[in-house]
Amino acid sequence: QVQLQESGPGLVKPSQTLSLTCTVSGGSISSGGYYWSWIRQHPGKGLEWIGYIYYSGSTYYNPSLKSRVTISVDTSKNQFSLKLSSVTAADTAVYYCARGASTIFGVVPPKDWGQGTLVTVSS
């Protein structure tokens, strides 16, 4: 069974870039039929889709975050990463990486999630 694990700094200063990595084990990120995503959850709030990537490198970003988000994949390390630039306190959240299936219709809800990592934006 595939497992996902987020890693990265838990504290980021305002205006800087938040960088997180998701390491995948128990399966290859290069296997077709899946997308690899980042989802966040503000304290006490619901789930917010950030974006996703295919192993080929094709991406989709939440329009509300698109100008600040970059998701990339490193198949040699079986990892994918998130960069969110120009962060503010409003970006303080638990960040999850997740895997879902890609069908002929498009992407469907993710099945496999990482445990999440809290990132606080503060000086």
Partner 1 sequence: QSALTQPRSVSGSPGQSVTISCTGTSSDVGGYNYVSWYQQHPGKAPKLMIYDVSKRPSGVPDRFSGSKSGNTASLTISGLQAEDEADYYCCSYAGSYTSVVFGGGTKLTVL
Identify the residue among 81, 82, 110, 121 touching partner 1 (CB under 8 A): 110
Nearer to partner 1, 32 or 63 (CB): 63
Q: Which stretch binds partner 1 (CB under 8 A): 21-29, 69-77, 79-87, 109-117?
A: 109-117
The gap from C-alpha 104 to its chain's centroid, in whole angstroms, comes to 23
Identify the residue among 49, 55, 68, 75 touching partner 1 (CB under 8 A): 49
Q: Other C-beta atoms within 10 Å of 99: how many?
A: 22
Phi, psi of 24 (to 5 degrees): -105, 130
What is d(CA 75, CA 15) in angstroms, rounded to the nearest whole number? 30
Tokens read off for 55: 């192993």
Could you list the residues that contact partner 1 (CB under 8 A)? Answer: 37, 46-49, 51-52, 60, 62, 96, 100, 103, 105-116
